[in-house]
Amino acid sequence: MNSPLPQKTIELRKPRAKLAPLPPGACHRFHAIVKPVGAQCNLDCAYCYYLHKEEMLGQARQPRMADEMLEEHIRQYIEAQTGDEVVFSWQGGEPTILGVDFFRKVVALQERHRKPGQRIENDLQTNGTLLDAEWATFLKQHDFLVGLSCDGPQDLHDRYRLTKGGATTHAKVVAAARLLQQHDVPFSVLCVVNRDNAQQPLEVYRFLTRELGARRLQFISCVEPKSFASVAPQHQSPAAQPLVGSRAARPGTPDSVVTDWSVAPEDWGHFLSAVWDDWYANDYGKVHIDLFENVVAQSLGMPAQRCITAEFCGKSLAIEHSGEVFSCDHYVYPEYRLGNIADTHWSEMAYTERQQGFGFAKRDTLPRDCRECPHLKLCWGECPKNRLVRTSSGEPGLNYLCPGLKHFYSHIQRDMPRILQQVSRYLERIQR
Ligand code: SF4
Ligand code: SF4
């Protein structure tokens, strides 16, 4: 069990960048998810993996990234990267609580610190309930890509995504989507696939695409160990991991390792397969589903676009409002704290051996079942935070979702040769 991080008055020492020389053509690049309001949110979604951080990190009641810390983050984050593009991802909690003026400051500071020729991109993950015309105008003007959370039709969405007072939110999310469409703001719907909506893949997919009109989708599996609020990933006892396929390796049983709302492993596979079939039959080339496009890209030998299916991870870190930096957004636990930008430059934390070790461990700790799996190069054992079960031979560290992942990767093999042929032809044409 971890204890809250000590709270102290933060003195900004304004550290300078330390960048190691690189071979010609290489550049320093990483990505960070910013939590400018910590875990603070106007909703109280049952499955949120972040709300409990208020208590764990000993956050103030209304955490805010102070103006000086914001500028320090923007300055260092830009200094620490030498590619032609720097991506800022604003998340929470609910970042729109800060109001549009905070983000006006953000874009002004980015402009102040931007290197010549460098492109700055912003994305904002939101529950949509606080968006209004002023927000939409700002987001359009500054080319923000919006991630809008919606779990499907009203009855499925409102099962878990409620306000702190227990009010439903679906109508507000639909209104937010309409607002973004009216202002021509690009948005991607982020759909958390939990134990309930996983049972109705086509209802979810068709609502999001045909009724809400989303053209970009991300499906995120809801997998939460029961101990997630206090025990960091990879700090559970390996001996306590249940065998894959056992009762305890499924949600809804008294001895389960995961919360009741977590998606069942097999349901995750069935959900993805059913959505894949509908997408391939009707929406291929029109609706972008990052997970599916990623499978196609990896099947062509291209690098993974998503960390969870990459061989290594560790290039996507997280920063709290207080300047505290962690190895990953899903590893915001004291055990994975790398430091604070108040006294240690981003460049000294993002490229450390410790952080590289975190990323390499994704591959280096795979159990034999994964190393010998025919889907290894598409899956790479998925996200390490979900490695909660033992293989049938008893080896710990297998991904909880493995049965579903195997089902999905086998299911799509039928369509892959045709898709790969089409994509290869297209790539040849545009490269000519
Ligand atoms: S731990 Fe999981 S979410 Fe974090 S960077 Fe690695 S694969 Fe991605
Ligand atoms: S499908 Fe299962 S066994 Fe195969 S790489 Fe993924 S998690 Fe490992």
Give pLDDT tens digits for 225-248: 999 988 999 998 999 999 999 999
Cα(405) to ligand 1 centroid in Å equals 17
**What pLDDT score was predicted for residue 59?**
67
The answer to whether the beta carbons of residues 420 and 296 sit under 8 Å apart is yes
Whether the bond into 285 is cis, omega within 30 of 0 = no
Q: How long, in residues, is the chain?
A: 432
**What pLDDT score was predicted for residue 57?**
74
Question: Is residue 383's pLDDT more than 50?
Answer: yes
In 3D space, the residue among 223, 194, 222, 188 whose CA is nearest the CA of residue 208 turns out to be 188
pLDDT (tens digit, 9 = 90+) per residue, 310-363?
Answer: 999 999 999 999 999 999 999 999 999 999 999 999 999 999 999 999 999 999
Q: Which ligand is nearest to the CA of 381?
A: 2
Give the single-character DSSP code of 311. Answer: S
Whether ligand 2 lies within 6 angstroms of the CB of 71 is answered as: no
**What pLDDT score was predicted for residue 1?**
41
Catalytic residue among 329, 343, 364, 415: 329
The answer to whether 329 is a known catalytic residue is yes
Question: Is residue 4's pLDDT more than 50?
Answer: no
Percentage of the chain exceeding pLDDT 70: 97
Q: Which residues of 80-102 are buried (b: 16+ CB within 10 A; e: fewer)?
A: bbbeeebbbbbbbbbbbbbebeb
Distance (Å, rounded) from C-alpha 331 to C-alpha 334? Answer: 9
Give the Cβ contact number of residue 377 at 10 Å: 13
Question: Is residue 5's pLDDT more than 70?
Answer: no
Name 168's bridge partners: 162
Distance (Å, rounded) from C-alpha 309 to C-alpha 295? Answer: 9
pLDDT (tens digit, 9 = 90+) per residue, 110-142?
Answer: 999 999 999 999 999 999 999 999 999 999 999
Give the Cβ contact number of residue 324 at 10 Å: 21
Question: Is residue 395's pLDDT more than 90?
Answer: yes
Pocket test for ligand 1, best of 220, 307, 309, 379 (most atoms within 8 A of CB): 307
Q: What residue ranges line ligand 1, CB within 6 angstroms?
A: 307-308, 313, 316, 328, 330, 362, 383-385
Joined together, the tokens standing for residue 81 give 């990267």
User: pLDDT band at residue 8, thresholds of 50, 70 and 90?
Assistant: low
- Please, is 215 exposed, middle or buried when counting C-beta atoms within 10 Å of its C-beta (0-12, 13-18, 19+)? middle
Joined together, the tokens standing for residue 325 give 């930096």
Average pLDDT score over residue span 171-176: 98
Distances (CA, A) of 62 to 8, 12, 33, 79: 16, 21, 19, 29
pLDDT (tens digit, 9 = 90+) per residue, 182-202?
Answer: 999 999 999 999 999 999 999
Distance (Å, rounded) from C-alpha 327 to C-alpha 337? Answer: 7
Question: Is residue 175's pLDDT more than 80?
Answer: yes
Question: CA geometry: angle at 305 spanning 300 and 308, to 5°?
Answer: 110
Distances (CA, A) of 325 to 77, 122, 344, 347, 365: 12, 19, 10, 12, 24
**What pLDDT score was predicted for residue 9?**
58
Which single residue is written with the structure tokens 């949509």? 128
Name 190's bridge partners: 149, 218
pLDDT (tens digit, 9 = 90+) per residue, 43-59?
Answer: 988 888 777 777 777 76
First-last CA distance in the chain: 58
Residue 366 CA, closest ligand 2 atom number: 8
The answer to whether the beta carbons of residues 190 and 146 sit under 8 Å apart is no
Give the single-character DSSP code of 206. Answer: H
Cα(235) to ligand 2 centroid in Å equals 21
Average pLDDT score over residue span 291-308: 95
**What pLDDT score was predicted for residue 56?**
77
**What pLDDT score was predicted for residue 3?**
46
- Please, is 359 exposed, middle or buried when counting C-beta atoms within 10 Å of its C-beta (0-12, 13-18, 19+)? buried
Cα(388) to ligand 2 centroid in Å equals 13
